[in-house]
Amino acid sequence: MSMLANIFTAAHEQYPTLNASLVLLAIVAPLAAALSLSVAGRLTDGAVRTMTVVGFAIPALIALWLWPSYLLTQPDGGYAFTSRSFTGLQTFGISLYLGLNAIALPMFVLAGLTGLAAALYTLKMGIDRLRLFVVLLLIMQSGLMGVFASIDVFFFYFFHEFALIPTFIMIAIWGRRGRKSVALEMTIYLTLGAMITLAGLLLLYLEAGVSEFTIPALQMAFYEGNLDNWIYVLLLIGFGILVSLFPFHSWAPRGYATAPAPVAMLHAGVLKKFGLYGLIQIALPVLPDAAASWGPLLMWLALANIVVIGLVTVAQRDLKLMLGNASVMHMGYAFLGLYAFSVIGVGGAILMMFAHGLSVALLFMLADGIERRCGTLDMPSMGGLAQKAPVLMAFFVAATMASIGLPGFANFWGELAIFVSLWKSEAPWVLIPAILGIVISAIYGLRAVASIFYGDSPAQPIQGGDLSKTEKLAGVVLLVGLLVVGFWPRSFSDAIHQSLVDSPFAAYEVQHVHTFED
Instruction: Specify if 242 maps to a domain.
Output: yes
pLDDT of 400-414, one tens digit each? 999 998 899 999 999
Q: Are 255 and 167 in contact (CB under 8 A)?
A: no
Helix (H) or strand (E) holding 448: helix 431-453
pLDDT grade for 514, boundaries at 50, 70 and 90:
very low
Task: Pick the closest to residue 145 from 193, 113, 120 (CA basis).
Answer: 113
Residues with Cβ within 8 Å of 448's Cβ and at least 6 positions away in sequence, in order, are 319, 322, 379, 400
Instruction: Specify if 12 maps to a domain.
Output: yes
Compute the distance between CA of residue 99 and CA of residue 81 in angstroms, rounded to an integer. 5
Compute the distance between CA of residue 125 and CA of residue 289 in angstroms, rounded to an integer. 49
Instruction: Specify if 342 maps to a domain.
Output: yes
What is the distance in angstroms between the CA of the first residue and the CA of the last residue of the chain? 29
Instruction: Specify if 517 maps to a domain.
Output: no
Compute the distance between CA of residue 184 and CA of residue 388 in angstroms, rounded to an integer. 38
Instruction: Specify if 516 maps to a domain.
Output: no
Strands 96-100 and 80-85: antiparallel
Task: Say whether 342 sits in a helix, a strand or coil.
Answer: coil
pLDDT of 221-238, one tens digit each? 765 556 667 888 899 999
pLDDT of 250-286, one tens digit each? 888 888 889 899 999 999 999 889 999 999 999 888 8
Amino acid at 150: S
pTM above 0.85, yes or no: yes
pLDDT grade for 513, boundaries at 50, 70 and 90:
very low
pLDDT of 65-107, one tens digit each? 999 988 888 777 788 888 887 665 666 677 888 999 999 999 9
pLDDT of 119-160, one tens digit each? 999 998 878 888 899 999 999 999 999 999 999 999 999 999
Average pLDDT of the residues in 203-212: 82
Given this model, what pLDDT does residue 228 score? 63
Per the structure, how many domains does the chain have?
1
Instruction: Specify if 333 maps to a domain.
Output: yes
Q: Is 353 left (phi over 0), alpha (psi -120 to 50) or beta?
A: alpha
pLDDT of 155-193, one tens digit each? 999 999 999 999 989 999 998 888 888 888 888 888 898
DSSP summary character for residue 89: G
pLDDT of 8-24, one tens digit each? 566 665 566 788 889 99
Question: Does 116 or 465 have the greater pLDDT score?
Answer: 116
Instruction: Specify if 56 maps to a domain.
Output: yes
Instruction: Specify if 443 maps to a domain.
Output: yes
Q: Which residue range(s) make up the domain with 80? A: 2-509
